[in-house]
C-alpha cells in the first residue's frame, strides 16, 4: 500500500543510436530537471541507454558488443552515480548479456544500489534477443511497483498478473508510435516534419497527436491502468529513432485511466505525476481484481497448440547472420 504521496517523473528524449555516452548524459540532465520539479523517482524509456530500433538488423556479435552485464557493467555504474548524485531512484533500459544470452533489460538503481532488473517477456526486435521468464514486483520508497516493457503491456494478462502480485505502480517503458501498420490512420511520420518542428510545429503535432501516435496510445493504455486499478508510468522517446519519428507523450496515468501528467513539448522533457493511495482504493480496477473467479479461467493457461510467437505489426529487418 502506498504509505504517502509520491512524485514520479516520466521522461522523454531523443536518443542517439548506439551512443551510450550521449544518452547517459541526457539521462543525467533530465534527472536533474525532474528532481528540480519535485520528482522522487525518475524513469526513462526502453533502450534509453543504447538506442533501440537500430538493433533490429544487428548480428549476434554486434549485439554482444552493445550488451553489458547487469548490474555489474559500466552503464549501470553510471546510472548508479546519477542516482546517488541526484538522490533519487533512476529507471532506464539497456541491452544485457548473461553468458551467451542477450536481453532487452530495464533496471532500477537507487542511491543505496541496484534494486531491480527486468528482462522483457516478449522480445521480438532481433532473433538473437532472448525473452525473459519472470515478472518483477518490488518495494520502492514505500510503494509496491512493477515493470513491464513495451509489447509486454499489450498482453492484458501481463499487467493483470503484475497487479495481482501487489504492484500499485507499473513502469511501462516503450519505444513505440508512428510505426508501419495496417490499422486505418496509422503509419510513419515524414522525418522532414521533425526536422522542421520549430518553423512548422502544427503539422508535426497533428501527426503525433493523431492515430499514428497519441491517438493510438489512448485506445489501450488508459485501459491497462483502469482495469487493474494501478498507476501507469509510460515513457517513450521523441524524435528520430533509427530513421523513424517517435511521438514521445511520456505520461503518468492514474488508476481511473486518466492522464495526470504528460510531456507535450516537441523535444526532450519530463513530467511529474503525484501518486496517492486513495485513487487506488477507490478504483474500479481494484474491485475487478476482487471479483475474479479463477475457477473459470482454465482456458487462459491451457498450452497452445503451436509455440508462442511474438511478432510486431510491421516487417522486421533480419540480421545478416540470422
Domains contained in the chain, number: 1
List, for residues 244-273, the tens digit of each pLDDT value: 999 999 999 999 999 999 999 999 999 999
Which residues have C-beta within 8 Å of that of residue 188, sequence separation ≥ 6?
A: 178, 179, 180, 212, 244, 245
Strands (E), 195-268: 231-235, 238-241, 244-247, 251-253, 259-262
Return the sign of the alpha-carbon dihedral for residues 165, 170, 171, 175: positive
Burial (CB count within 10 angstroms: exposed 0-12, middle 13-18, buried 19+), residue 25? middle
Residue 320 counted as domain residue: no
Residue 315 counted as domain residue: no
Give the pLDDT band (50/70/90) at residue 319.
Answer: confident
Q: Mean pLDDT throughout 155-176?
A: 98
Residue 312 counted as domain residue: no
Residue 318 counted as domain residue: no
Cα–Cα distance, 107 to 114 (Å, whole number): 8
Closest CA to 20 of 56, 73, 57, 72: 73
Cα–Cα distance, 136 to 147 (Å, whole number): 6
- pTM over 0.95? The answer is yes
Residue 273 counted as domain residue: yes
pLDDT of residue 106: 98
CATH, residue 259: 3.60.110.10
Q: Mean pLDDT throughout 234-239?
A: 98
Q: Mean pLDDT, the chain, as a whole number?
A: 96
Backbone angles phi, psi at 208, to 5 degrees: -70, -30
Residue 221 structural domain: 6-301
Cα–Cα distance, 23 to 25 (Å, whole number): 5
Return the sign of the alpha-carbon dihedral for residues 42, 45, 47, 48: negative
Amino acid at each position: 500500500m502506498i504509505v504517502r504521496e509520491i512524485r514520479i517523473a516520466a521522461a522523454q528524449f531523443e536518443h542517439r543510436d548506439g551512443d551510450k555516452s550521449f544518452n547517459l548524459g541526457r539521462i543525467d540532465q533530465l534527472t536533474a530537471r525532474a528532481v528540480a520539479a519535485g520528482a522522487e523517482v525518475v524513469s526513462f524509456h526502453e533502450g534509453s541507454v543504447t538506442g533501440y530500433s537500430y538493433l533490429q538488423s544487428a548480428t549476434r556479435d554486434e549485439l554482444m558488443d552493445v550488451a553489458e552485464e547487469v548490474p555489474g557493467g559500466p552503464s549501470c555504474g553510471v546510472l548508479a552515480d546519477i542516482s546517488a548524485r541526484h538522490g533519487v531512484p533512476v529507471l532506464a533500459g539497456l541491452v544485457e548479456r548473461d553468458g551467451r544470452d542477450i536481453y532487452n533489460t530495464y533496471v532500477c538503481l537507487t542511491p543505496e544500489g541496484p534494486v531491480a532488473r527486468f528482462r522483457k517477456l516478449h522480445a521480438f526486435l532481433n532473433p538473437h534477443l532472448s525473452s525473459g521468464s519472470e515478472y518483477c514486483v518490488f518495494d520502492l520508497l514505500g510503494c509496491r511497483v512493477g515493470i513491464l516493457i513495451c509489447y509486454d503491456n499489450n498482453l492484458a494478462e501481463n499487467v493483470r498478473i503484475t497487479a495481482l502480485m501487489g504492484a500499485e505502480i507499473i513502469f511501462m517503458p516503450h519505444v513505440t508510435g508512428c510505426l508501419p501498420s495496417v490499422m486505418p490512420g496509422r503509419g510513419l511520420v515524414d522525418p522532414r516534419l521533425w526536422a522542421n518542428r520549430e518553423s512548422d510545429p502544427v503539422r508535426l503535432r497533428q501527426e503525433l497527436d493523431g492515430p499514428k501516435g497519441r491517438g493510438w496510445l489512448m485506445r489501450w493504455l488508459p485501459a491497462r491502468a483502469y482495469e487493474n486499478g494501478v498507476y501507469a508510468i509510460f515513457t517513450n522517446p521523441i524524435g528520430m529513432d533509427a530513421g523513424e519519428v517517435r511521438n514521445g507523450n511520456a505520461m503518468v496515468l492514474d488508476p481511473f485511466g486518466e492522464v495526470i501528467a504528460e510531456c507535450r513539448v516537441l523535444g526532450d522533457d519530463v513530467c511529474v505525476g503525484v501518486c496517492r493511495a486513495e485513487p487506488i482504493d477507490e478504483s474500479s480496477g481494484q474491485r475487478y481484481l476482487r471479483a475474479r473467479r479463477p475457477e473459470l479461467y482454465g482456458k487462459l493457461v491451457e498450452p497452445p497448440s503451436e509455440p508462442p510467437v511474438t511478432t510486431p505489426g510491421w516487417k522486421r529487418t533480419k540480421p545478416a547472420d540470422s
